[in-house]
Amino acid sequence: MFKRIRKDIQVIFERDPAARSVWEVVLCYPGFHAILMHRLAHKLYCRGWILLPRMISQISRFFTGIEIHPGAKIGEGLFIDHGMGVVIGETAEVGNNVTLYQGVTLGGTGKEKGKRHPTVGNNVVIGTGAKVLGSFKVGDNVKIGAGSVVNKPVPPNTTVIGVPGRVVIRNGINIADADAAIDLHHEILPDPVAEMLICLQRKIDRLEHRISQLEGNNDEDL
């Protein structure tokens, strides 16, 4: 248990430059508190308890602003930065070395029973306010941009942005190597809409130039 707690603290130092001391992390990081409370609630939930784990989850939510259902499966190395408004549903599964920013939702759709929340792979970064909704897999080494809404499977080694979420980079950055640093720059993302507008503007400029040339030739003929 203490070994895992030490790893949770080390993860925060690795991914948050604002962390200054161990005591600061232990006393002032709601993501760290929420993960500790969830582990206790999850153990009780797996033993068949229902009400007490839910009460622990609600107490954690009250103090941290982070709601993790006791049934959710959380891997090692999860880092919840700031965390206010983060929601992780009952059947959600989160892999190792995952980073969630504030306002992220791993939610379900509909009222069906059974698996209804997403499965998030390893080394995934989900940006501020992103919503991942439904029972599907988000592959390893995926980066989901801030404010995106993802409602379908995401292949590994890709970057997803937009509403609805769409893949804009595939195998652009290789972080599959265990020694590679986790890319936390979820704000540095391509903008396909802006790129399309730029292409249209260039095409309009070429057409206007061509029209000017044709009008000049007509004036010379007259």
Is residue 118 domain-shared with residue 202, that is, in the same domain?
no
Is residue 179 domain-shared with residue 203, that is, in the same domain?
no
Instruction: State the CATH number of the domain containing residue 43.
Output: 2.160.10.10
Cα(125)–Cα(173) distance, rounded to whole angstroms? 13
Q: What is the pLDDT along the chain (222 residues), one digit of tens a residue?
A: 788 888 889 899 988 888 889 999 999 999 999 999 999 999 999 999 999 999 999 999 999 999 999 999 999 989 999 889 999 999 999 999 999 999 999 998 877 788 899 999 999 999 999 999 999 999 999 999 998 999 999 999 988 988 888 888 777 644 334 444 455 555 555 666 777 788 888 899 889 888 888 887 766 665
Is residue 181 domain-shared with residue 204, that is, in the same domain?
no
Is residue 132 domain-shared with residue 153, that is, in the same domain?
yes
Secondary structure element (H or E) that encloses residue 168, with its range: strand 166-170
Is residue 183 domain-shared with residue 196, that is, in the same domain?
no
For residue 31, what pLDDT is reported? 92
Q: Return the structure tokens found at 30.
A: 């709601």
Is residue 41 domain-shared with residue 146, that is, in the same domain?
yes
Cα(53)–Cα(32) distance, rounded to whole angstroms? 18
Is residue 121 domain-shared with residue 183, that is, in the same domain?
yes
| Number of domains forming the structure of the chain | 2
Name the nearest CA neighbour of 139 among 103, 164, 175, 188.
175
For residue 175, what pLDDT is reported? 36
Is residue 65 domain-shared with residue 159, that is, in the same domain?
yes
Say if residue 193 is exposed, middle or buried (CB neighbours under 10 Å; 0-12, 13-18, 19+): exposed
For residue 221, what pLDDT is reported? 60
Is residue 157 domain-shared with residue 202, that is, in the same domain?
no
Is residue 195 domain-shared with residue 184, that is, in the same domain?
no
3-state SS of 58-109 is HHHHHHHCCEECCCCEECCCCEECCCCCCEECCCCEECCCCEECCCCEEECC
Is residue 219 domain-shared with residue 173, that is, in the same domain?
no
Q: By residue range, what is the domain housing residue 196?
A: 191-222
